[in-house]
Structure 1
Amino acid sequence: MTVGGAGAGESAARRVAILGGGPAGLAAAQAALAAGARVTLLDEGGRLGGQYWRHHEQLTDRRLQHGWARFERLRGVLDRAEVHTGASVWSAEASDGAVRLRAVVGPADAAGRTALEVEADAVVVATGAHDLALPVPGWTLPGVTTAGAAQALAKRDGVTVGRRTIVSGAGPFLLPVAQSLAIAGAEVVGVHEASRLGGLAAGWLPRPWQLAGKAGELVEYVGALARHRIPYRIGSGVVRVLGTDRVEGVVIAALDAEWRPIPGTEREIACDSVALGHGFTPRLEVAISLGAAIEGDRRGRFVVVDDAQRTSAAGVYAAGEITGIGGADAALAEGAVAGFMAAGGSLDDDRMRGPLAVRRRMRAFAARLERAHGIRPGWTSWLADDTVVCRCENVTRRTIADRADAPLRAMKLATRAGLGACQGRTCGRAVEAIVAEAGGAPEGFDRRPVLAPVRLGEVAALGQGNGVGAAAAAISIDDRAESTVAAAEPRQ
């Protein structure tokens, strides 16, 4: 049974649901609770913290955890909220002044996941972003990972992807990745930044006083590279991965301002692992499902929000990387604003002064980030015809380019690009770029209807009010203690 509204004798405090347990989601929960709301937080990860605060209580090296004290403070207030980790939202609807979310709770491949239904007056979507790694010939070899995956293994589990690792891509995120790998015991052979000096200067040199808050981080990372003797090269990148059964080396080339390899600059470097990272892609599925407007182009599409972090959909707020890639500080500030406003707060409240000031500063930082490290169109020139672009369905560049003149939906059906398990999350940006280069008109891979994989039996159980496996819980924000026990039992 789904229960909604305030119970007998309870105040009519606003019910706020929060999707995502990273910096934006945790800050939103803290702010909503401070404004007097009843809060439910759902996160699909097994632990709170998102991509930024990855940890394992026994294995994590605290040197790899930035801002850990802030995480512990945010986590400390959640005893007043209802929290579900391992919760995969597969349905999200906003209508008639209410939001309804349906999820299954438990390990992704488990047969006995618990059904969960949440009703709220408002929702803060803080689903974050995932790594964007542009394909290169040989990137399907064992030993190649995204930069984020390499860092996650180091931060959470204290392991490295290999003994000798090349870190390649674009953006300041490459620096903490290299630092994490070195602390975890890997030899980082080099960090290769695709952007050239001119692009970096255009993004970072104007109005340097605005970067005062980030100077300390830069000094820390530069010091780490120096201590571990890690070379940092700009205007270069991995254009081919070498090996038969696994990574044996890479081909590095100098890149021009548009990221095209410069002939005659290629050189081979021996290594057994590669970490690729060319920025991040926002996770827009839930926001789109809720009816929030999206704007942008192939360089990036994001949720449109106003000063209160409201989207175009009634009762739906958004915060963090889905509104623009700006880093953890921006996500924390936006989350605080979104959570407070979703709970019925006001921007004029004194408690909003700090978050609003940080948000203004970090939005300027995000613009610099794009100018300095944004993806340039020439990267497709390092692809061979037989380079696999869609890893799930083993679709090559040539197969996609040959059907670029068809509508995107027809191209996907004909080639199966983007129709695999990841639903285009890994290959979407690359497919769009190849289609555009070949003269086609990409329509956007972010219009995906699939939020999370769910079994038909799980859907049926929620509709019938029956158990999924051993038990099911269809709950609202109100029945906290009972629902927490019911949700936990099937996972023991």
Structure 2
Amino acid sequence: MNADPTSVAGKNFPLRGQFDHVVIGAGKAGVAAARATVASGARTLLVDEHPLDPGLFGLDVPYLFGARFDAGIRNAARMEERVVAARSDLVAAMEEGVEVALGTAAWGGFVKGPASRVFAAPVIGLADREAAWLVGCERITLAIGARDVVIPCAGWTLPGVVGAQGFDALLRLYGAFSGRRIVVIGGGALAEGAVAAARAAGLDPVLHLASPVPLRIEGFDEVTGIGWRDREIWREIACDTVVMAVDTVPMVDLPELLGCPVAWDPARGGFAAAAQGPVAVVGDAAGTAPAERGAWLDLALAEDHALVCACEDVSAGDLRALRPPRYLGAAGPEAGLGALGVLNQDQVKRLTRAGMGPCQGRRCRESVHALLSQDRPAPLASHRAPVRPLPLSVLAALEEDPALRANWTGWFGIAAQWLPHWEPVPDNAEFIGGRLSGEDVVK
């Protein structure tokens, strides 16, 4: 039997470097892990996506920035200085021999397993603003942190609604926060830290709503105020920024790609990953404080009109009815979610498109999960590379084996992919070097 030329089996994957240990995330946990491994004599690479490409701020990657950043984020050199200054132990790590790559995102990871037998050793996909590449390693430590939970109250999609993580990054890491009058939503240490940080920066935290209450964020083009129900009375206050500091959840996208088991554990903040083989998970990525978002989400999702997935315009009512996208003009099954039996978030995503937008579910995943988990926790939606949005020009710069590149246009050798659906495929059509050929093929 002839080998399939479109298969990745037997192909080479050019690497830009080989390391003993790759650490992803340069927060406290990541820097500590990198310093510990380099002290043992291991060649160590420490990667962090900050400072971000300015285009990612608008996509709320990796945090909900809510358009509350100034023009300073466009000065790459200045932002790198800010990131290093905000992480004093990063300089010590570099002096000790850790190779540091800032402004570099990990978009994927590949280890040998049931679904991938191509790589003999772990490989990490990295990218900066110019190109994507692969590095090889023996061990990986994921210190990728946590992301914010968003409460889908009225007006939550307005510019000016930021997450606690995004607020902290803009304020402390970038020095580029542009808001003035702050309202903080949420109780516990996360919200108290946001209030304290705002005051320390000379900002005006005009209100802190610590207990779950019905909310509506006011504004047209951006946040101008917030309303909340106090018993039977709606009260309002003017503000330009609403900080959602209700809860955070561990980042699990990269751990899942690397084969780490991901399980529901409320004591660790919801879905959290555990170490597996050559992959360790540390810091907030391994677990956060026990989840406090339940009552807030229950209040917001009680109304059918609550907008859960802003990218795809899917409401809580749409999800309950399992309603297909409105542009299809179709109704969901009569029994709604009950027709699915054991609920699976991937099923619901494909049927309703909730979580399939540009944010890749970062802003709606917890709301969808809460709505599906009335009786018991539903499985988490799966992740696929790239876990960071990358321009095609960056991915196109990824170096490939010439034998692989020559056949990438052939999708499993299906000749019909390049023909209009109304034209028959000639019997003698075949792929040569990734191009459709044959005597009867119209050139």
TM-score (structure 2 length as normaliser) = 0.68
User: In structure 1, what is the Cα distance between the partners aligned to 2:370 and 2:310?
Assistant: 16
Tell me if the contact between 1:423 and 1:448 (Cα under 8 Å) persists in the aligned partners. no
Aligned twin of 1:242: 218
| Mean Cα deviation higher: 183-192 or 273-282 | 183-192
> Could you say which residue in structure 1 is the equivalent of 2:59?
none
1:431 pairs with one of 339, 348, 368: 368
- Residues 122, 162 of structure 1: alpha-carbon distance in 2 compared, 3 angstrom cutoff: closer
Paired residue for 1:226? Answer: none
How many angstroms apart in 2 are the aligned matches of 1:450 and 1:115?
11
Aligned to 1:415: 352
Alignment CA distance shift 1:448-1:396 (3 Å): farther
Q: Secondary structure at the match of 1:422?
A: coil
Corresponding residue number in structure 2 for 1:121: 138
* Residues in 1 aligned to 2:261 and 2:79: alpha-carbon distance in whole angstroms: 41
Mapping of 1:199-210 within 5 angstroms? none
- Tell me how far apart the structure 2 counterparts of residues 128 and 293 of structure 1 sit (CA, whole Å): 17
Q: How far apart in 2 are the matches of 1:192 and 1:428?
A: 23
1:97-136 equivalent positions in 2, closer than 5 A: 98-106=121-129, 113-136=130-153
Contact 2:264/2:377 (<8 A) preserved: no
The alpha-carbon deviation at position 97 of structure 1 amounts to 6.5
1:449 Cα deviation from its structure 2 partner: 4.9
Of the candidates 194, 207, 218, which is equivalent to residue 177 of structure 1? 194
Question: Residues 380 and 450 from structure 1, CA distance in 2 versus in 1: closer, same or farther, beyond 3 angstroms?
Answer: farther
CA distance, structure 2, for counterparts of residue 440 and residue 399 of structure 1? 20
Tell me by how many angstroms 1:265 deviates. 5.5
Figure out how many residues of one structure are paired with residues of the other and give that number. 342
Contact 2:147-2:248 within 8 A present in 1 as well: yes
The 2-side partners of 1:397 and 1:98 are apart by 44
Contact 1:423/1:450, CA 8 A, preserved across alignment: no
Any unmatched runs of 5+ in structure 2? Answer: 1-13, 53-61, 64-71, 113-118, 323-336, 403-443
Aligned to 2:381: 445
1:376 aligns with 2:346: no
SS in 2 for 1:393: coil
* Displacement of 1:446: 5.3
CA distance in 2, matches of 1:459, 1:168: 39
Inter-CA distance 297–303: structure 2 relative to 1 (3 Å threshold): same
Distance 1:393 1:423 in 2: 11
Please say if residues 41 and 81 of structure 1, whose CA atoms lie closer than 8 Å, have aligned partners that are also in contact: yes
Contact map agreement 1:128 1:283 (CA 8 A) in 2: yes
- Quick one: distance in 2 between partners of 1:460 and 1:399? 38
- Whether contact under 8 Å (1:164, 1:187) holds in the other structure is yes
Equivalent-residue separation in structure 1 for 2:173 and 2:90 (angstroms): 19
Shift of 1:453: 2.8
Determine the structure 1 residue equivalent to 2:319: 400
- Structure 2 matches for 1:178-217, cutoff 5 A? 178-194=195-211
User: Which residue of 12, 18, 26 maps to 1:21?
Assistant: 26
Going from structure 1 to structure 2, the CA distance change for 1:444 and 1:155 (only over 3 Å counts) comes to: same
Q: Which residue of 2 aligns with 1:348?
A: none
Bigger fraction of residues in helix? 1
1:217-238 per-residue CA deviation (whole Å, 9 max, x = no partner) reads xxxxxxxxxxxxxxxxxxx556
Say whether the 8 Å CA contact 1:389–1:430 is kept in structure 2.
yes
- 1:338-363 per-residue CA deviation (whole Å, 9 max, x = no partner) reads xxxxxxxxxxxxxxxxxxxxxxxxxx
Judged with a 3 Å threshold, the aligned counterparts in structure 2 of structure 1 residues 160 and 378 are, in CA distance, closer, same or farther, namely closer
Equivalence for 2:423: none
Report sequence identity in percent: 29
Whether contact under 8 Å (2:308, 2:367) holds in the other structure is yes
Residue 282 of structure 1: CA displacement?
1.4
2:133 touches 2:399 (CA, 8 Å); kept in 1?
A: no
CA RMSD of aligned residues (A): 3.5
Are the counterparts in 2 of residues 160 and 181 from structure 1 also a CA contact under 8 Å? no
Q: How far apart are 1:119 and its partner, in Å? A: 0.9
Change (3 A) 1:28 1:243: same
Give the aligned residue type for 1:187: D
Task: Specify which of 281, 288, 295 is matched with residue 318 of structure 1.
Answer: 281
Q: Give the structure with higher Rg (CA).
A: 2
**Can you list the C-alpha shifts for 1:365-401, whole angstroms capped at 9, x where unaligned?**
xxxx42xx62234632234322221122222121112
TM alignment of 1:43-192, pairs within 5 A: 43-46=48-51, 71-79=87-95, 80-95=97-112, 98-106=121-129, 113-158=130-175, 160-192=177-209
Distance of 2:242 and 2:17 partners within structure 1: 50
Rounded Cα–Cα distance in structure 2 between residues aligned with 1:449 and 1:420: 15
Q: Note the alpha carbon deviations across 1:302-347, whole angstroms, 9 max, x for none.
A: 112xxxxxx22x211111111111xxxxxxxxxxxxxxxxxxxxxx
Structure 1, residues 394-423: CA drift from partner, whole Å, max 9, x if none? 221211121134443332123211111221
Report Cα offsets for 1:51-108 as digits up to 9, x if no partner. Answer: 9xxx999799x9xx9x979x423422324122222222233112376211122222xx
TM-superposed deviation, 1:253: 3.7
Q: Which amino acid aligns with 1:382?
A: A
